[in-house]
Structure 1
């Protein structure tokens, strides 16, 4: 059984549903049963998965949307052994597709290769997921691309609240929203001390944290190569953190970070890990795959190796 979650609002500048129609037509041609919904909220997806099959049959989930839609779907899965997953990337960032070498809508408007793999329905690989736990509450969230605290999460929060995001998306310019808000956030970064512990061994102290990202794939924020060594298939996550810099020192880092060539700069901390703990002296916004739900001053991040079965 295929369960398709379509999120047209995620598509930057694309307002039609031609990919959904092509997918449904291809599934009909193969006489594959499917159901389509336009609601990616985890509670709804979780409820539907339970109602679809109370036995042990496998469910094929297909997300049509961006990284945020994918995040909502993976957080709705309770039994990963029963689920195989695919997605058609039509978001404004598409960092998961970029990190996995999957063509996005801007490079392949027809998505023919992706569609053929989806209707074939064969698991092609298993990828790692990350899990972020808010230490104060014990609540946790999964992520496929990255999670982060500080600057990147603050930008995501402001973008999601911005009334201009949908406007720019209509003209395929969703990234302009990120750029404008990022410049403002850089100028107003709070002074926050951080203590980061990797695998209960390496301890990193930062007097003024700009951001700390835990990367499952190399890219975040619409193509910034914050972790060039990261891979979703190597059983670990990668830290990418910057701190103790003023605004003039920070600005040159971002073009280099876009290219993945910034590790040598002062104030940059990086490295692989299986478990990371971070404590702050004040709460900062936290994101998982660009989705922001709360602030926190203490989180634990762990890698879940080979957690998600992909059919694309």
Structure 2
């Protein structure tokens, strides 16, 4: 057993539909058959059993880290990995309510199929975003609907899944349409200023289950992420134009700014709340985001 590679398996049973870890024995068997020594821990926030502490404990020892949970759980694991002296392979068994990130990587939502990918999949090195002092896998966003994912009650998400996000978004529609934030945005080839109802830096075509960038050529390993800004509407007619553009994925609308960026800075007149990978990301007036090229290698269903 001494020559076996260590696989650290972290399970968040409270994520998404509460099904993380249901097939843990099958996963352990697959890892064992592949030559790994599985080390399994539950993630329990507020205790010694957090992603950050466990990942740090196995720095330089684990050659594979398996995360079973939602996108928020994966965010914590990835952030801890970015601080490791030696970053191992990462595998993800999605158990959240939307699983945007997994979908883009060809990781299935079925636990047994995802466990198969974790052991037998193709390694793929993807770009990680850094927002001020925190990292994200696939999105940092502000404005309308950005807080729906982290503000939606966990019990509601457990029962209804993605429908819970839709219900929450509809309930907040009046105040979201009235929301606007005055910002100045700077990138290498763009400087613009205005009032915005939404802004995001994405590494996924799907955000919160909504395929905002379905028609865009989103590559997760090109050293860039997609910047999308939606200007605040002045009347009901402009609201309808914005909704239509979003419905069909028209990023060339006059109300939408779309760019590929490797670095962007947001300056706002007041503290602005951000969400990172579906969780609360803090408030800031100045927000710097940069792309770290191919920072993490994950097991995926991608071929080639």
Which category describes the TM-score, using the shorter chain as reference length?
Answer: 0.7 to 0.9
Determine the C-alpha separation between the residues in 1 that align with 2:286 and 2:142.
Answer: 10
Change (3 A) 1:100 1:250: farther
Runs (5+) with no aligned partner, structure 2: 1-5
* Distance in 2 separating the partners of 1:238 and 1:142: 16
Q: For 1:29 and 1:84, locate their aligned partners in 2 and report how far apart those are by CA, in whole Å.
A: 17
Instruction: Report whether the alignment pairs 1:97 with 2:102.
Output: yes
Q: Post-superposition, which runs of at least 4 consecutive aligned residues in structure 1 deviate over 6 A? A: none
Query: In the alignment, what sits opposite 2:3?
Result: none
Counterparts in 2 of 1:99 and 1:256: CA distance versus 1, 3 Å: farther
Cα distance in 1 for partners of 2:180, 2:117 equals 48
- Evaluate the alpha carbon distance shift between residue 70 and residue 270 of structure 1 in structure 2; reply closer, same or farther with a 3 A threshold: same
Measure how far apart 1:123 and its partner are.
Answer: 6.2
Q: Distance in 2 between matches of 1:218 and 1:80?
A: 31
What RMSD, in angstroms, separates the aligned Cα atoms of the two structures?
2.5
Q: 1:209, 1:243 within 8 Å by CA — same for their partners in 2?
A: yes
C-alpha separation in 1, matches of 2:275 and 2:44 = 18
- Using the size of structure 1 for normalisation, the TM-score is 0.83
Indicate if the aligned counterparts of 2:21 and 2:68 stay in contact, CA closer than 8 A.
Answer: no
Number of aligned residue pairs = 288
The structure-2 alpha-carbon separation of the partners of 1:222 and 1:247, relative to structure 1 and needing over 3 Å to count, comes to: farther
2:239 pairs with 1:250: yes
150, 156, 161: which one pairs with 2:149? 156
Residue matched to 1:127 = 126
Normalising by structure 2, what TM-score? 0.85
Flag structure 1 segments of 5+ consecutive residues without an equivalent.
Answer: 134-139
**TM superposition shift of 1:102:** 2.3
From 51, 54, 58, the counterpart of 1:45: 51
Tell me which moved more, 81-90 or 179-188: 179-188
1:1-312 matches, within 5 Å, as 1-12=6-17, 15=19, 17-39=21-43, 44-52=50-58, 56-77=60-81, 78-79=83-84, 81-105=86-110, 110-111=112-113, 114-120=114-120, 124-133=123-132, 140-159=133-152, 162=153, 165-170=154-159, 173-189=160-176, 190-199=179-188, 201-206=189-194, 208-226=195-213, 228-246=216-234, 248=236, 249-250=238-239, 253-254=242-243, 256-257=245-246, 259=248, 261-312=249-300
Residues 38-77 of structure 1, C-alpha deviation per residue, up to 9 Å, x if partnerless?
A: 2165983232233335xx4453111111211111111112
Distance in 1 (CA, whole Å) between partners of 2:287 and 2:247 is 26
**Contact in 2 for aligned 1:187/1:247 (Cα 8 Å):** no
What secondary structure does 1:218 align onto? coil
